[in-house]
Amino acid sequence: MAKTTEERENEIRTAVQALAEAHRKLDERLDAVLWLKTKTPGVWILEVMPDMPPDAHAERPMEFSPSKDFRYTLNLLLGRDRDFRNAVRRNTSFARAVAAAEPILPHPAIGKKLIKYAESELQRTSSMSCTTSAPVRAKKTG
Amino acid sequence: MKLLQPNVWLEQAKSDEKASAAKQLNECHRRYFMQQAYEKSVKALGLAILTRNQKSDKPFASVLGDYFLNHHTPLTVLSESVTDDAKNDIKKRYPKKHEKLIKQLTTFRIQLKRRMLDKVDAKVEGIWKKIDATRPSKNSSKVSYRYPFLDGAIEIAPCAYNKWDAYQGSRTDVENAIKELFMRAGNAVKIAERAC
């Protein structure tokens, strides 16, 4: 029987949680893990790692092939909180993906803050686009 | 789709591991074959976790060669790619792309480490680290696999070193650590081939 969208999402969530837990046990500082819900193929995971090098394009993932325990193509975004915030400010579709993301780690304070930041940035840009959009040109009357 | 290079490395790694079992070997030569088995498996695993897009990215493939594939100590060198010297070298060669390349290399390093170390026994992890950190050298004061074994026409005296068990672990433990890596690399190659 075909799986429902909810069942499939639950399956992916379990896999993402296991992956995040495995990552947390390694000796790299890891502040937050977000599962980005995008329509692009593969599973998108954003990890806030304070020791990553600076990146002017933190929204660009590196793609990895599936593993035994994680059967999905992994689009991995590793970066510093400030680089992700810059990317949120610059790139609206990335901001949307972060705003709709699910925090994964058990203590996701930094992840939640990043989501809130993306939400407020989206609100700010949408209100700006209302106030600064170009006025409709008056028709030439000849 | 069959992944050519990772499969070749895995086959060679298994041959090296078989060669290491020969009875008449000096211990450092045995360890050399074991080191080769380790090195080729790590490289097979590294290539298998990348997708085709990553491998066809020429600048990335080039720095991956310089900081991973072209070395006997792949993980140690990959870890050194985060030093200022390495970053400056990449910046000099790719002034417009250095930031992206450093990030790609770092992400690859972390992901490879995760794939190697996920649910691994601490003893096995320790042995991998020790094998990876042992570099070939002619300097007799250093512990090494004495590769090449000849310095000019003179055979370097590898047999003098008899503390391999204390240095890297017993022969059985090292064999088990290498077999664990074969399994991980083999799985990664199979899964990558299915995903292609």
pLDDT score recorded for residue A138? 39
- Of B50, B36, B24, the closest CA to residue B134 belongs to B36
DSSP string, B71-105: -SSHHHHHHHTTSHHHHHHHHHH-TTTHHHHHHHH
Tokens representing residue A68 in the block: 């035994």
Quickly count: other Cβ atoms within 10 Å of residue B15's Cβ: 14
Helix ranges (DSSP H) in chain A = 5-24, 81-90, 92-99, 109-132
Q: Are B66 and B58 a contacting pair, CB within 8 Å?
A: no
User: What is the rounded CA–CA span in Å between residue A104 and residue A111?
Assistant: 8
pLDDT score recorded for residue A142? 36
Quickly count: other Cβ atoms within 10 Å of residue A7's Cβ: 11
- The residue of B82, B91, B118, B194 whose CB has the most chain A CBs within 10 angstroms, and thus the best one to mutate to test that interface, is B118
Selecting from B99, B107, B195 the residue whose C-beta is nearest the C-beta of A76 gives B107
Q: Which residues of B touch A74 (CB under 8 A)?
A: 111
Predicted TM-score (pTM) of this structure: 0.87
Q: How confident is the model at residue A87 (pLDDT cuts 50, 70, 90)?
A: very high
Is A85 an interface residue toward B (CB < 8 Å)? no
pLDDT score recorded for residue A40? 85
pLDDT score recorded for residue B156? 57
Please state the domain extents for chain A: 10-125
The tens digit of pLDDT for each residue in A5-48 reads: 888 889 999 999 999 988 888 888 999 999 998 888 889 999 99
The tens digit of pLDDT for each residue in B176-188 reads: 999 999 999 999 9
- Of B183, B175, B181, the closest CA to residue B42 belongs to B181
The tens digit of pLDDT for each residue in B151-185 reads: 666 655 555 567 888 888 999 999 999 999 999 99
Selecting from A56, A63, A68 the residue whose C-beta is nearest the C-beta of B51 gives A63
Quickly count: other Cβ atoms within 10 Å of residue B94's Cβ: 17
Domain A10-125 has CATH 3.30.460.10: yes
What are the phi and psi torsion angles at B45 (to 5°)?
A: -65, -45
Cβ burial B42-72 (10 Å sphere, 16+ → b, else e): bbbbbbbbbbeebeebebbeebbebbbbebb
Taking only Cα atoms into account, the Rg of chain A, rounded to an integer number of angstroms, comes to: 18
pLDDT score recorded for residue B81? 83
pLDDT above 70: residue A114? yes
User: What is the rounded CA–CA span in Å between residue B115 and residue B129?
Assistant: 15
Tokens representing residue B55 in the block: 């491998």
- Of B25, B39, B72, the closest CA to residue B185 belongs to B39
Please state the domain extents for chain B: 4-195
Put simply, the answer to whether A22 touches B119 (Cβ < 8 Å) is yes
Better pLDDT: B12 or B166 = B12
Put simply, the answer to whether A67 touches B106 (Cβ < 8 Å) is no
Is A22 an interface residue toward B (CB < 8 Å)? yes
User: What is the rounded CA–CA span in Å between residue B177 and residue B132?
Assistant: 12
Is B187 an interface residue toward A (CB < 8 Å)? yes
pLDDT score recorded for residue B196? 76
Cis bond before residue A54 (omega within 30° of 0): no
Mean pLDDT over B50-74 rounds to 89
The residues pairing with B155 across neighbouring beta strands, listed in sequence order, are B150
pLDDT score recorded for residue B152? 67
Q: Which residues of A touch B114 (CB under 8 A)?
A: 22-23, 26
What are the phi and psi torsion angles at B145 (to 5°)?
A: -85, 0
pLDDT above 60: residue A137? no
Is B140 an interface residue toward A (CB < 8 Å)? no
A103-109 long-range contacts, Cβ below 8 Å, gap at least 24?
A: A103/A32, A103/A33, A103/A34, A104/A16, A104/A17, A104/A20, A104/A33, A104/A34, A104/A35, A104/A45, A105/A20, A105/A24, A105/A30, A105/A32, A105/A33, A108/A32, A108/A33, A108/A34, A109/A32
ipTM: 0.81
